[in-house]
Structure 1
Amino acid sequence: MDFEQADALNQAIRLLSLRHRARAATLLAPLGLHPGQEALLLELARTGPAIQSQLSEALGCEPPSVTLMTRKLEAGGYIRREPAPSDRRASIVELTDSGKALADQVKRLWCALAEETVAGLPAETVAELPGILRTLTGNVDSRRSRRPPEDDAV
Protein backbone atom coordinates (compact mmCIF):
# COMPACT_ATOMS: atom_id res chain seq x y z
CA MET A 1 0.00 0.00 0.00
CA ASP A 2 1.41 3.40 -0.87
CA PHE A 3 1.43 6.36 1.51
CA GLU A 4 -1.52 8.18 -0.09
CA GLN A 5 -3.77 5.14 0.26
CA ALA A 6 -2.51 4.44 3.80
CA ASP A 7 -3.03 8.07 4.77
CA ALA A 8 -6.56 8.14 3.35
CA LEU A 9 -7.47 4.92 5.19
CA ASN A 10 -5.94 5.97 8.52
CA GLN A 11 -7.50 9.43 8.34
CA ALA A 12 -10.93 7.99 7.56
CA ILE A 13 -10.74 5.58 10.51
CA ARG A 14 -9.50 8.33 12.84
CA LEU A 15 -12.21 10.79 11.81
CA LEU A 16 -14.96 8.18 12.03
CA SER A 17 -13.82 7.22 15.51
CA LEU A 18 -13.68 10.82 16.73
CA ARG A 19 -16.98 11.86 15.19
CA HIS A 20 -18.82 8.72 16.26
CA ARG A 21 -17.66 9.21 19.86
CA ALA A 22 -18.64 12.89 19.78
CA ARG A 23 -22.10 12.05 18.39
CA ALA A 24 -22.50 9.33 21.02
CA ALA A 25 -21.56 11.83 23.74
CA THR A 26 -24.21 14.26 22.45
CA LEU A 27 -26.88 11.55 22.47
CA LEU A 28 -25.86 10.18 25.88
CA ALA A 29 -25.70 13.56 27.65
CA PRO A 30 -29.48 13.94 28.14
CA LEU A 31 -29.41 10.56 29.89
CA GLY A 32 -26.67 11.79 32.23
CA LEU A 33 -24.12 9.38 30.75
CA HIS A 34 -20.61 9.84 29.41
CA PRO A 35 -19.09 7.74 26.61
CA GLY A 36 -18.01 4.37 27.96
CA GLN A 37 -20.70 4.17 30.62
CA GLU A 38 -23.26 3.03 28.05
CA ALA A 39 -20.98 0.16 27.07
CA LEU A 40 -20.84 -1.02 30.68
CA LEU A 41 -24.63 -0.81 31.02
CA LEU A 42 -25.16 -2.68 27.75
CA GLU A 43 -22.63 -5.36 28.72
CA LEU A 44 -24.45 -5.98 32.00
CA ALA A 45 -27.79 -6.02 30.17
CA ARG A 46 -26.34 -8.60 27.74
CA THR A 47 -24.56 -10.87 30.20
CA GLY A 48 -26.08 -10.25 33.62
CA PRO A 49 -24.03 -9.72 36.80
CA ALA A 50 -20.27 -9.73 36.31
CA ILE A 51 -17.07 -9.25 38.25
CA GLN A 52 -15.39 -5.93 37.52
CA SER A 53 -12.34 -7.64 36.01
CA GLN A 54 -14.65 -9.46 33.58
CA LEU A 55 -16.20 -6.13 32.62
CA SER A 56 -12.77 -4.64 32.07
CA GLU A 57 -11.89 -7.49 29.70
CA ALA A 58 -15.22 -7.36 27.88
CA LEU A 59 -15.06 -3.59 27.41
CA GLY A 60 -11.39 -3.56 26.44
CA CYS A 61 -10.47 -0.96 29.05
CA GLU A 62 -8.27 -0.79 32.11
CA PRO A 63 -9.63 -1.89 35.52
CA PRO A 64 -9.34 1.63 37.03
CA SER A 65 -11.62 2.94 34.27
CA VAL A 66 -14.24 0.30 35.11
CA THR A 67 -13.91 1.13 38.81
CA LEU A 68 -14.56 4.81 38.09
CA MET A 69 -17.51 4.05 35.81
CA THR A 70 -19.06 1.66 38.33
CA ARG A 71 -18.72 4.21 41.13
CA LYS A 72 -20.51 6.86 39.07
CA LEU A 73 -23.23 4.49 37.90
CA GLU A 74 -23.68 3.18 41.43
CA ALA A 75 -24.03 6.75 42.75
CA GLY A 76 -26.76 7.27 40.14
CA GLY A 77 -28.58 4.17 41.33
CA TYR A 78 -28.12 2.28 38.04
CA ILE A 79 -25.94 -0.54 39.32
CA ARG A 80 -25.08 -2.17 42.61
CA ARG A 81 -21.79 -3.70 43.64
CA GLU A 82 -21.37 -6.44 46.17
CA PRO A 83 -18.30 -8.37 47.28
CA ALA A 84 -17.90 -11.64 45.39
CA PRO A 85 -18.56 -14.59 47.71
CA SER A 86 -15.48 -16.44 46.44
CA ASP A 87 -13.12 -13.43 46.62
CA ARG A 88 -13.95 -10.50 48.90
CA ARG A 89 -11.46 -8.33 46.97
CA ALA A 90 -13.57 -8.67 43.81
CA SER A 91 -16.90 -6.93 43.26
CA ILE A 92 -19.89 -8.34 41.46
CA VAL A 93 -21.69 -5.66 39.49
CA GLU A 94 -25.33 -5.89 38.46
CA LEU A 95 -28.00 -3.59 37.06
CA THR A 96 -30.70 -2.21 39.31
CA ASP A 97 -34.24 -1.78 37.99
CA SER A 98 -33.31 1.84 37.15
CA GLY A 99 -30.22 0.56 35.36
CA LYS A 100 -32.29 -1.87 33.31
CA ALA A 101 -34.62 0.95 32.28
CA LEU A 102 -31.64 3.14 31.39
CA ALA A 103 -30.07 0.30 29.39
CA ASP A 104 -33.31 0.04 27.40
CA GLN A 105 -33.08 3.77 26.62
CA VAL A 106 -29.44 3.34 25.58
CA LYS A 107 -30.43 0.46 23.28
CA ARG A 108 -32.89 2.72 21.46
CA LEU A 109 -30.29 5.49 21.25
CA TRP A 110 -27.69 2.99 19.98
CA CYS A 111 -30.05 1.88 17.21
CA ALA A 112 -30.57 5.51 16.16
CA LEU A 113 -26.81 6.16 16.17
CA ALA A 114 -26.13 3.06 14.09
CA GLU A 115 -28.81 4.06 11.58
CA GLU A 116 -27.33 7.58 11.32
CA THR A 117 -23.86 6.14 10.86
CA VAL A 118 -24.72 3.78 7.99
CA ALA A 119 -27.31 5.98 6.26
CA GLY A 120 -27.00 5.71 2.50
CA LEU A 121 -25.12 2.41 2.50
CA PRO A 122 -26.59 -0.66 0.80
CA ALA A 123 -28.07 -3.25 3.19
CA GLU A 124 -25.47 -5.81 2.04
CA THR A 125 -22.64 -3.47 3.04
CA VAL A 126 -24.26 -2.75 6.40
CA ALA A 127 -24.58 -6.49 7.04
CA GLU A 128 -20.86 -6.98 6.31
CA LEU A 129 -19.61 -4.03 8.38
CA PRO A 130 -19.54 -5.66 11.84
CA GLY A 131 -17.34 -8.49 10.55
CA ILE A 132 -15.05 -6.11 8.69
CA LEU A 133 -14.70 -3.86 11.72
CA ARG A 134 -14.03 -6.85 14.03
CA THR A 135 -11.28 -7.95 11.64
CA LEU A 136 -9.74 -4.47 11.65
CA THR A 137 -9.89 -4.36 15.44
CA GLY A 138 -8.31 -7.80 15.68
CA ASN A 139 -5.56 -6.74 13.28
CA VAL A 140 -4.71 -3.72 15.41
CA ASP A 141 -4.97 -5.67 18.69
CA SER A 142 -2.71 -8.48 17.45
CA ARG A 143 -0.04 -5.99 16.44
CA ARG A 144 -0.16 -3.83 19.57
CA SER A 145 2.91 -5.41 21.09
CA ARG A 146 4.89 -5.42 17.86
CA ARG A 147 7.37 -2.67 17.10
CA PRO A 148 6.63 -0.32 14.21
CA PRO A 149 8.51 -1.03 10.98
CA GLU A 150 12.07 0.25 10.90
CA ASP A 151 12.80 3.22 8.70
CA ASP A 152 15.09 1.98 5.94
CA ALA A 153 16.66 5.44 5.63
CA VAL A 154 18.20 5.41 9.12
Structure 2
Amino acid sequence: MDFEQADALNQAIRLLSLRHRARAAALLAPLGLHPGQEALLLELARTGPMIQAQLSEALGCEPPSVTLMTRKLEASGHIRRQPAPSDKRASIVELTDSGKALTKELRRLWRALAEETVTGIPAETLAELPGILKTMTGNVDTRRPRHPHDGRDGE
Protein backbone atom coordinates (compact mmCIF):
# COMPACT_ATOMS: atom_id res chain seq x y z
CA MET A 1 0.00 0.00 0.00
CA ASP A 2 1.45 3.38 -0.90
CA PHE A 3 1.41 6.36 1.44
CA GLU A 4 -1.50 8.14 -0.27
CA GLN A 5 -3.72 5.09 0.02
CA ALA A 6 -2.62 4.50 3.64
CA ASP A 7 -3.23 8.15 4.49
CA ALA A 8 -6.70 8.14 2.91
CA LEU A 9 -7.62 4.94 4.78
CA ASN A 10 -6.30 6.14 8.14
CA GLN A 11 -8.01 9.52 7.77
CA ALA A 12 -11.33 7.88 6.86
CA ILE A 13 -11.16 5.58 9.90
CA ARG A 14 -10.20 8.47 12.19
CA LEU A 15 -13.01 10.71 10.95
CA LEU A 16 -15.61 7.93 11.11
CA SER A 17 -14.58 7.15 14.68
CA LEU A 18 -14.76 10.79 15.78
CA ARG A 19 -18.06 11.52 14.05
CA HIS A 20 -19.71 8.27 15.14
CA ARG A 21 -18.75 8.94 18.76
CA ALA A 22 -20.01 12.54 18.54
CA ARG A 23 -23.30 11.40 17.00
CA ALA A 24 -23.66 8.70 19.67
CA ALA A 25 -23.00 11.32 22.37
CA ALA A 26 -25.74 13.55 20.94
CA LEU A 27 -28.22 10.66 20.94
CA LEU A 28 -27.26 9.49 24.44
CA ALA A 29 -27.23 12.90 26.15
CA PRO A 30 -31.04 13.19 26.48
CA LEU A 31 -30.94 9.86 28.34
CA GLY A 32 -28.28 11.18 30.74
CA LEU A 33 -25.64 8.81 29.32
CA HIS A 34 -22.16 9.26 27.92
CA PRO A 35 -20.55 7.19 25.13
CA GLY A 36 -19.42 3.83 26.47
CA GLN A 37 -22.12 3.59 29.11
CA GLU A 38 -24.61 2.33 26.53
CA ALA A 39 -22.24 -0.51 25.62
CA LEU A 40 -22.02 -1.54 29.26
CA LEU A 41 -25.79 -1.51 29.69
CA LEU A 42 -26.38 -3.38 26.42
CA GLU A 43 -23.76 -5.99 27.36
CA LEU A 44 -25.50 -6.64 30.67
CA ALA A 45 -28.85 -6.88 28.84
CA ARG A 46 -27.29 -9.49 26.50
CA THR A 47 -25.45 -11.56 29.10
CA GLY A 48 -27.10 -10.95 32.45
CA PRO A 49 -25.13 -10.20 35.63
CA MET A 50 -21.38 -10.53 35.38
CA ILE A 51 -18.23 -9.84 37.37
CA GLN A 52 -16.84 -6.40 36.72
CA ALA A 53 -13.54 -7.82 35.41
CA GLN A 54 -15.44 -9.95 32.87
CA LEU A 55 -17.41 -6.87 31.85
CA SER A 56 -14.14 -5.02 31.28
CA GLU A 57 -12.93 -7.82 29.01
CA ALA A 58 -16.23 -8.04 27.12
CA LEU A 59 -16.21 -4.28 26.46
CA GLY A 60 -12.52 -4.12 25.56
CA CYS A 61 -12.04 -1.41 28.20
CA GLU A 62 -9.48 -1.02 30.95
CA PRO A 63 -10.80 -1.99 34.42
CA PRO A 64 -10.54 1.58 35.80
CA SER A 65 -12.78 2.84 32.97
CA VAL A 66 -15.38 0.19 33.76
CA THR A 67 -15.15 1.02 37.47
CA LEU A 68 -15.87 4.67 36.72
CA MET A 69 -18.78 3.80 34.40
CA THR A 70 -20.30 1.39 36.91
CA ARG A 71 -20.08 3.97 39.70
CA LYS A 72 -21.90 6.55 37.58
CA LEU A 73 -24.52 4.08 36.35
CA GLU A 74 -25.06 2.82 39.89
CA ALA A 75 -25.50 6.40 41.15
CA SER A 76 -28.12 6.97 38.44
CA GLY A 77 -29.95 3.80 39.47
CA HIS A 78 -29.43 1.82 36.24
CA ILE A 79 -27.21 -0.92 37.68
CA ARG A 80 -26.33 -2.40 41.04
CA ARG A 81 -23.06 -3.87 42.21
CA GLN A 82 -22.64 -6.45 44.91
CA PRO A 83 -19.72 -8.52 46.16
CA ALA A 84 -19.22 -11.79 44.33
CA PRO A 85 -19.91 -14.76 46.61
CA SER A 86 -16.72 -16.50 45.45
CA ASP A 87 -14.44 -13.46 45.83
CA LYS A 88 -15.39 -10.51 48.05
CA ARG A 89 -12.87 -8.31 46.16
CA ALA A 90 -14.83 -8.81 42.93
CA SER A 91 -18.14 -7.10 42.17
CA ILE A 92 -21.06 -8.59 40.29
CA VAL A 93 -22.81 -5.99 38.14
CA GLU A 94 -26.45 -6.30 37.13
CA LEU A 95 -29.17 -4.16 35.60
CA THR A 96 -31.88 -2.69 37.79
CA ASP A 97 -35.45 -2.33 36.55
CA SER A 98 -34.52 1.21 35.50
CA GLY A 99 -31.53 -0.12 33.54
CA LYS A 100 -33.67 -2.79 31.87
CA ALA A 101 -36.19 -0.15 30.77
CA LEU A 102 -33.38 2.08 29.52
CA THR A 103 -31.88 -0.69 27.37
CA LYS A 104 -35.11 -0.85 25.37
CA GLU A 105 -34.61 2.79 24.37
CA LEU A 106 -30.89 2.20 23.81
CA ARG A 107 -31.62 -0.60 21.36
CA ARG A 108 -33.86 1.74 19.38
CA LEU A 109 -31.24 4.51 19.35
CA TRP A 110 -28.42 2.10 18.50
CA ARG A 111 -30.37 0.70 15.57
CA ALA A 112 -31.13 4.23 14.33
CA LEU A 113 -27.45 5.21 14.59
CA ALA A 114 -26.37 2.12 12.66
CA GLU A 115 -28.94 2.76 9.95
CA GLU A 116 -27.88 6.41 9.70
CA THR A 117 -24.21 5.42 9.54
CA VAL A 118 -24.62 2.94 6.67
CA THR A 119 -27.13 4.87 4.56
CA GLY A 120 -26.20 4.54 0.88
CA ILE A 121 -24.05 1.43 1.28
CA PRO A 122 -25.13 -1.44 -1.02
CA ALA A 123 -26.72 -4.43 0.75
CA GLU A 124 -23.97 -6.85 -0.37
CA THR A 125 -21.28 -4.56 1.07
CA LEU A 126 -23.31 -4.03 4.23
CA ALA A 127 -23.56 -7.79 4.76
CA GLU A 128 -19.74 -8.04 4.76
CA LEU A 129 -19.06 -4.90 6.78
CA PRO A 130 -19.29 -6.32 10.35
CA GLY A 131 -16.75 -9.03 9.50
CA ILE A 132 -14.41 -6.55 7.82
CA LEU A 133 -14.58 -4.17 10.77
CA LYS A 134 -14.03 -7.03 13.24
CA THR A 135 -10.92 -8.09 11.32
CA MET A 136 -9.65 -4.50 11.25
CA THR A 137 -10.26 -4.14 15.00
CA GLY A 138 -8.35 -7.37 15.67
CA ASN A 139 -5.49 -6.12 13.52
CA VAL A 140 -4.95 -3.13 15.80
CA ASP A 141 -5.81 -4.81 19.13
CA THR A 142 -3.14 -3.66 21.57
CA ARG A 143 -3.93 -6.58 23.88
CA ARG A 144 -2.51 -9.16 21.48
CA PRO A 145 1.12 -9.79 20.52
CA ARG A 146 2.39 -7.71 17.61
CA HIS A 147 3.58 -9.23 14.36
CA PRO A 148 7.29 -8.70 13.86
CA HIS A 149 7.90 -5.72 11.60
CA ASP A 150 9.32 -6.75 8.27
CA GLY A 151 11.67 -3.77 8.17
CA ARG A 152 10.04 -2.08 5.18
CA ASP A 153 8.78 1.45 5.58
CA GLY A 154 6.49 1.36 2.57
CA GLU A 155 8.46 3.91 0.57
Shift of residue 34 of structure 1? 0.2
Aligned to 2:135: 135
Distance 1:39 1:90, change over 3 A: same
Shift of residue 101 of structure 1? 0.6
User: For the residues of structure 1 that align with 2:99 and 2:144, how far apart are their CA atoms?
Assistant: 34
**RMSD between superposed Cα atoms in Å:** 1.7
TM-score by length of 1: 0.93
User: For the residues of structure 2 that align with 1:142 and 1:25, how far apart are their CA atoms?
Assistant: 25
Shift of residue 113 of structure 1? 0.1
Aligned to 1:26: 26
Shift of residue 145 of structure 1? 4.8
Shift of residue 149 of structure 1? 6.8
TM-score by length of 2: 0.93
* Structure 1 alignment gaps of length 5 or more: none
Shift of residue 78 of structure 1? 0.3
Matched, 1:56 2:66: no
Distance 1:48 1:10, change over 3 A: same
User: For the residues of structure 2 that align with 1:144 and 1:3, how far apart are their CA atoms?
Assistant: 26
Name the aligned partner's letter for residue 57 of structure 1.
E
Matched, 1:88 2:82: no
Q: Secondary structure at the match of 2:120?
A: coil
Shift of residue 67 of structure 1? 0.5
Shift of residue 86 of structure 1? 0.2
Distance 1:81 1:104, change over 3 A: same
User: For the residues of structure 2 that align with 1:65 and 1:33, how far apart are their CA atoms?
Assistant: 15
Matched, 1:42 2:35: no
Name the aligned partner's letter for residue 37 of structure 1.
Q
Q: How many residues align?
A: 152
Q: Secondary structure at the match of 1:34?
A: coil
User: For the residues of structure 1 that align with 2:73 and 2:64, how far apart are their CA atoms?
Assistant: 14
Greater relative contact order structure (CA < 8 Å, 6+ sep): 2
Q: Secondary structure at the match of 1:107?
A: helix
Shift of residue 126 of structure 1? 1.2
Aligned to 1:123: 123
Cα deviations across residues 20-65 of structure 1 (Å, max 9, x unaligned)? Answer: 0000000000000000000000000000000000000000011011
Distance 1:140 1:85, change over 3 A: same
Q: Secondary structure at the match of 1:141?
A: coil
